[in-house]
Chains A and B, each alone.
Chain A
């Protein structure tokens, strides 16, 4: 199908984008990589009056590394993030998750910020951001603010972003020296929506683990538990017992929860093995 008619606005600065959003409010949609929005437009699931195309705002494509975090501009393409050594070294969990995002061809165009803005319940990038306790930076004509991932993802396709705000950057906490990571997901076909995805950040020093579950509820769900290498099966079962699991055409609640247990066990095992190798 073809999209319903829309106006097109291409700003030359973030300020111009904010101004356009202030003027048009909910009538406008921001066009980032367009790998989700484009499909929704073509299927006429959305009919915005105006698209604000931020693809030429080069200031949103930067990657910055500080002592505490890696800050990725909202328009960093998924393929570029996957190839970036700074991300691989400082946010390894994101590098592990990115191969599961869409396909080779859609990662060429799809962006980190676009995936976060879209907030699909099974999307990997929001899941990693929530698991790591990262933040979303938002800008409007009036103010700039940062929202914790846990507060940002409210429900399926619903976020804390106001209609006049544009996501400008994502803040990814830098990997702890003694934290080990792993990522696993199950989908029917490669690149398809994950029925369940699990991200793991295992802090060896604090003997605690954060397990993030995607595809289970309406938004990423993160459980933090104590960790001991002898208790992996128990931790996986406990974590999966604490989350909400929805039912849909692909999987029942019981199936999803079982899958969550299995994948949680796998990521815990993989992360603890990494610990053994580097010790």
Chain B
């Protein structure tokens, strides 16, 4: 059993984007704030702070969750992936991010990190989704710039390209 007093700071360790990290936080510190203010990982954005806007979405053990509705102390020992962990290297985009650029799926970019994270789990779960399925998943995010059309296109395009690459790989193999 772990018991921490309200004013007490607790040592937290977890895997962030493949690297083990640690820091200290009071129990009430949101995971979103721990990422931004303690670890200075500013890719995860904070919008509404009550789970509606989706900007703060991160992967917790592979699942898209709101980091404003989680406390840092809860994820001790877990695997967390944020937008910083998506690309293959510093300054490089993965296929999904590249599709967002090609399809003008962002303007101001505030919502983008959260949407990329949700789409990452979603595409792993539904490799060939319908437009309606993409929109249903996207209803958990608020974007005020794009009207969502480019975002839907980017996610569908990524799914199509991945399926084509997989088919080609299977033919070659």
Contacting residues, chain A, for B33 (C-beta < 8 A): 2
* Contact string against A for B residues 117-144, beta-carbon threshold 8 Å, 1 for contact and 0 otherwise: 0100110000000000000110110000
Judge whether B50 is part of the interface by a CB distance below 8 angstroms.
yes
B63 proximal to A (CB < 8 A): yes
Q: Mark the stretch among A34-42, A175-183, A234-242 that contacts chain B.
A: A34-42
Q: Which residues does chain A contribute within 8 Å of B60, judged by CB atoms? A: 109
Q: Once the chains are docked, how many angstroms separate the CA of A55 from the CA of B69? A: 13
B15 within 8 A of partner (CB): no
Determine which residue in B54, B64, B69, B71 has the highest number of CB atoms from chain A within 10 A of its CB, and name it: B69
When the two chains form their complex, are residues B73 and A8 in contact, meaning their CB atoms are under 8 A apart? yes
B84 within 8 Å of A by Cβ?
no
Which listed segment binds B: A9-17, A244-252, A271-279?
A: A9-17
Is B172 in the interface zone, CB < 8 Å from A?
no
Which candidate, B2-10, B91-99, B154-162, is the interface stretch facing chain A? B2-10
Q: List which B51-88 residues lie within 8 A (CB) of chain A.
A: 51, 54, 57, 60, 63-66, 68-71, 73-74
Tell whether, in the assembled complex, residue B6 and residue A5 are in contact, meaning their CB atoms are under 8 Å apart: yes
Q: Quick one: given A34-B69, A38-B69, are A6 and B27 in contact (CB under 8 Å)?
A: yes
Q: Which residues of A contact B69 (CB under 8 A)?
A: 34-35, 38-39, 42, 106, 109
Interface size class of A (residues with CB under 8 A): 35 or more
What residues on B are CB-neighbors of A4 within 8 Å? 28
B7 partner residues in chain A, CB cutoff 8 A = 5
Q: Would you call A42 and B68 a contact (CB within 8 A)?
A: yes
B49 at interface (Cβ–Cβ under 8 A)? yes
Q: Is the CB of A55 within 8 A of B74?
A: yes
Residues from chain A with Cβ under 8 Å of B153 in the complex: none
A3 at the interface (CB under 8 A from B): yes
B8 to chain A, nearest CB (A): 8
Instruction: Decide: A105 near B4, CB < 8 A? Known: A35-B51, A51-B27.
Output: no
- The answer on a CB contact under 8 Å between A6 and B30 is no
Contact of B140 with A38 in the complex, beta carbons under 8 Å = no
Chain B min CB distance to A99 (Å): 8
What mask results when residues 45 to 79 of chain A are scored 1 for a CB within 8 Å of chain B, else 0? 00001010101000000000000000000000001
Q: How far is the CB of B129 from chain A (nearest CB, A)?
A: 11
- Answer yes or no: B26 CB below 8 A from chain A CBs: yes
* Other-chain residue from B5, B49, B73 in contact with A42 (beta carbon distance below 8 A): B49
Is residue B108 within 8 Å, beta carbon to beta carbon, of the partner chain?
no
Picked from A6, A12, A43, A105, the residue with its CB within 8 Å of the CB of B57 is A105
Given contacts A5-B6, A38-B69, A104-B137, 18 further A-B contacts (CB under 8 A): A5-B26, A6-B6, A8-B3, A8-B73, A9-B2, A10-B1, A38-B66, A42-B69, A99-B136, A103-B139, A103-B140, A105-B54, A105-B65, A105-B140, A106-B66, A108-B121, A109-B60, A109-B66
Q: What are some 27 contacts across the A-B interface (CB < 8 A)? A: A2-B33, A5-B6, A5-B27, A7-B27, A8-B27, A9-B2, A9-B4, A11-B1, A38-B50, A38-B66, A38-B68, A38-B69, A38-B70, A42-B30, A42-B50, A51-B71, A53-B74, A103-B54, A103-B137, A104-B64, A104-B136, A105-B57, A105-B65, A106-B69, A108-B121, A109-B65, A109-B69
Question: 4 closest pairs, A vs B, by CB?
Answer: A103-B140, A38-B69, A8-B27, A39-B50
Binding site for A on B (CB under 8 A): 1-7, 10, 26-28, 30, 33, 49-51, 54, 57, 60, 63-66, 68-71, 73-74, 118, 121-122, 136-137, 139-140
